[in-house]
Amino acid sequence: MCQGKPLSVIELFYGLFHMDIPKTPRNSLRKPQDIEMYALYYAPRFIKEYWQAKRLRQLIKHATRNIPLYRDLLASKKIDVRRVRKPTDLRLLPIITKETFSGSSVDMFVDNSRTMNQVWSSTSGTSGKPFSFIPGLSGDLTYSDFISFRFLLSYGWYPWEISEIKIARIKMHRDNRENRFFVSVQEFFSDPDASIVRIAEFKPLVLEGFPSVLLELVRRVEANPSLPKIAPRFAVVMGEVLTVAARERISKALGCEVYNRYSTEEMGTLGMECGQHDGFHLINDVVLVEVTDDTGAPAAPGEQGKILLTDLSNFNMPLIRYDVGDSGFIIKDACACGQLAPRIKIAGRHSASLSFGARRIFHLECAAIFEAFSGIVLQYQVVKRSDSELLLRLVTSRELTEAETLDITKAFHAIAGEIRVVPERVKLIESSPTGKSQTIVDMSAV
Ligand SMILES: [Zn+2]
């Protein structure tokens, strides 16, 4: 077990009531915010609710003063923001989506009241449509790990020890820090065996990745007995549907317990499974999660609806009632684990691959290719027409040059083999009933 220094009670209370609007461009978690984070974690429910209501009022006041997009949106709908006092009042506000931002210039939706060295992030486009944004606290790695590996506390670790736990992750974006070992999705798929050797050498306690990636890792480990054994105590997956069969396969092959979590690229981890593995406990106190019908009215517990998120830590580019494109439902019943945080179940996330002979291409590989063209390719759909033909339906900001078309074609040849690749510029890619566009489509199977 790692050793860490606990915080004093005085520090905790100082953190909780020191509620300045974060002034740094990235909401840095250097003190006092990290104290605030632990204080919130240990605070009783009514204190959390008090903190959330106060932060919400600060955020809305800030957005109406400093973010022209919100000011105009709320004025056009004649909304009196003073009526929004607490999280349940959010229903008075309009829903925003990626499209709300796409038609506006940047200075319309970022904080213009101060100079910022903006650190932009971009979603990887696994939903078929990359989106650039400035993150709130979720952009801070210490904070994001604190939320994402919260389940370890039920095994006896303390919150301040999480940064000392050895975690290997196969992800889209690099973050190399002490006690963290990173392999990019691209690196993994280009040479899985070498990646497996490096991960095994690192000896992680936790192995983290997308279900499709960990399944591929398991397949390689089983196919090649000469590879060293990766024996994490836990595997953590996110970003795609985790089927019962996939959970069992990963758990059995690696000899570990599999924890699934609900995270979004825009706001990081929102929900985490407990040892019961029955839904995600909503444990991120700085993001308000609503499940609503299409009009924005709250869905009853157990009733499926769209998921709206409000990031109470993001004053740089406020996202208030942001429709992230997922749907799900809330479970209010008590969980056998004893945690009081309600649970959410998610319907409609991505998990897809296409086979070409012996080769399989995964949606993440496609996302990685289009990420290199994120300023140009706004949305895409990868369609397998037959065993020898791949159609790329692309919504682009302008006509692709011949060189760009060739680069994209080559990148697909590299992952799928010498098949026919047909890029096609389209105006629109229709969404599936869950609201997310379908990025990977197999027409050859129809
Ligand atoms: Zn539970």
Tokens of 101: 């931002």
Q: Quote the ligand 1 centre to 269 CA distance (angstroms).
A: 16
Span 82-130, pLDDT tens digits: 999 999 999 999 999 888 888 788 888 888 777 666 677 777 655 556 6
Q: Quote the ligand 1 centre to 11 CA distance (angstroms).
A: 29
Span 395-439, pLDDT tens digits: 888 899 999 999 999 999 998 999 999 999 988 776 554 444 567
What is the pLDDT, as a whole number, of residue 32? 47
What is the pLDDT, as a whole number, of residue 129? 60
What is the pLDDT, as a whole number, of residue 352? 60
Q: Domains plus CATH for the chain? A: 1-165+265-349 (3.40.50.12780), 353-442 (3.30.300.30)
Tell me, yes or no, if the pTM score tops 0.75.
yes
- Whether the bond between 135 and the residue before it is cis, its omega within 30 degrees of 0, is no
Phi and psi angles of residue 154, each rounded to the nearest 5 degrees, phi first: -75, -5
Q: Quote the ligand 1 centre to 258 CA distance (angstroms).
A: 15
Residue 22 clears pLDDT 60, i.e. is over it:
no
Work out the widest C-alpha separation in the chain, in whole angstroms: 67
Residue 27 clears pLDDT 50, i.e. is over it:
no
Q: Quote the ligand 1 centre to 341 CA distance (angstroms).
A: 8
Q: Quote the ligand 1 centre to 34 CA distance (angstroms).
A: 25
What is the pLDDT, as a whole number, of residue 261? 94
DSSP letter (8 states) at residue 26? S
**Are 147 and 155 contacting, i.e. CB atoms less than 8 angstroms apart?**
no
Span 154-201, pLDDT tens digits: 899 988 788 889 999 998 777 778 899 999 888 898 899 999 999 999
Element of type H or E holding 345: strand 343-347
More confident residue, 189 or 296: 296
CA 64 to CA 75: how far, in whole Å? 9
Q: Quote the ligand 1 centre to 278 CA distance (angstroms).
A: 7
More confident residue, 304 or 220: 220
Q: Quote the ligand 1 centre to 283 CA distance (angstroms).
A: 11
- % residues pLDDT > 70 (the chain): 85
Q: Quote the ligand 1 centre to 330 CA distance (angstroms).
A: 13
- % residues pLDDT > 90 (the chain): 42
Q: Quote the ligand 1 centre to 13 CA distance (angstroms).
A: 27
User: What's the chain's length in residues?
Assistant: 446
